[in-house]
Amino acid sequence: MERLRAMAIKEFWAMIRDPKMRIILVALPVMQLLIFAFAVTLEVKNVNVAVLNQSSGRYSDEILEQIAGSPNFRGIIRLNSYEELRDAINRQRILAAMVIDADFDAKRERGEPAEVSVVLDGRRSNSAQILAAYLQAIVMKAGLPVQLAGHIPAEGSIRRNWFNPNLDYFWFNLPTLLVLVVSVSALSVTAQTVAREREMGTFDQLLVSPLRLHELLIGKMLPPMAISLAHGTLFLVVAQTMFGVPFTGSYLLFYLALLLYMLSLIGIGMFISALSRTQQQAFLGAFMAIVPLVVLSGFAAPVENMPGWLRFITYFDPARYFLEISLGLFLKAMTFSQVAARLWPLLLIAIATLSAATWLFRARME
């Protein structure tokens, strides 16, 4: 234990003295918090919506008033013909246009089903679909049984969003951002450990020291693990206090999952570090590992939308399991059995990566 403590303290001081490492430890997490939390948004705001109102009755006016009062829209552009609608879409002046037929109010007066059509700019498909969902919610909120984009809601029906009632994108972004920040810090710090020793010429001194192999490896793994746990705790607190994201699960399960996730990442980082001869090579290796880890985790796109062969690869991605656990513990109050179903793959991946890193480290020493 005395040798382990000395090795861990030595690694801590080596990281703190390095200006580049201080940037990774302090500046990088803050930048990621500010940039990703506010810039990566799933909302569509401050857009104009066009309306071709051919009815001009009290029911159609009620819908227009709801749109005008929505915070998601900047304003309403009133159109007079389909030619104007086509021109506005072609010139990208608008993202969506609502068309209210001439007999809309007359049908509503007779109690017949009426129809509202929405024309979307397919060149910006994601934003257009989100905007269409906003318009559909407004029409349903007006209490009108209106057909919107082929969907007929039931009379008096209420739509409720589970786990995120107000569809607040912070509630999704912050739990996933926690996974991203922890991944970057763990891999970046760990990948530099052995490579820094080689570049500074002190690696040979470690080999002739009284430290055993497992003591040397554990001593180099402890500081990155402590730093990553600190980053995870920081984002856990910030998500709840500053952004109001609820944490509905167990903190014990969260830290257990975070610990296993850290072990799997540290194994990958140590493998990269043992393979690299310079810190630049280690940095590039860590970057090459971070990109597939994050992309295949479901952070950018759902795993279900990926091809079959790519979905199979995601089973070996530890970030996928920790992302599901993070979202589940924040928003869904995941039970122990649900978390355990994702913990054992993390444990297997951690054993595999740490074993590979130990094997390569031993081989490079010999």
Which domains can be identified in the chain, with CATH numbers?
47-148 (3.40.1710.10), 167-365 (no CATH)
Q: Which comes out higher in pLDDT, residue 148 or 305?
A: 305
Give the pLDDT of residue 53: 85
Contact by Cβ (8 Å): 196, 18: yes
Over the chain, what is the mean pLDDT? 78
pLDDT digits (tens, 9 = 90+) for 36-73: 666 666 666 777 888 888 887 787 888 888 888 777 78
Contact by Cβ (8 Å): 292, 210: no
C-beta pairs of 131-138 under 8 Å, 24+ apart in sequence: 131/44, 131/47, 131/49, 131/72, 131/95, 131/96, 132/96, 134/44, 134/70, 134/72, 134/73, 135/49, 135/67, 135/96, 135/98, 138/63, 138/66, 138/67, 138/70
And the tokens for 130?
């989100």
pLDDT digits (tens, 9 = 90+) for 344-364: 999 999 999 989 888 887 776
Q: How close are the terminal C-alpha atoms of the chain, in Å?
A: 25
Give the pLDDT of residue 145: 46
H or E element at residue 60? helix 58-68
pLDDT digits (tens, 9 = 90+) for 18-34: 676 667 677 777 777 77
Portion of the chain with pLDDT greater than 90, in percent = 14
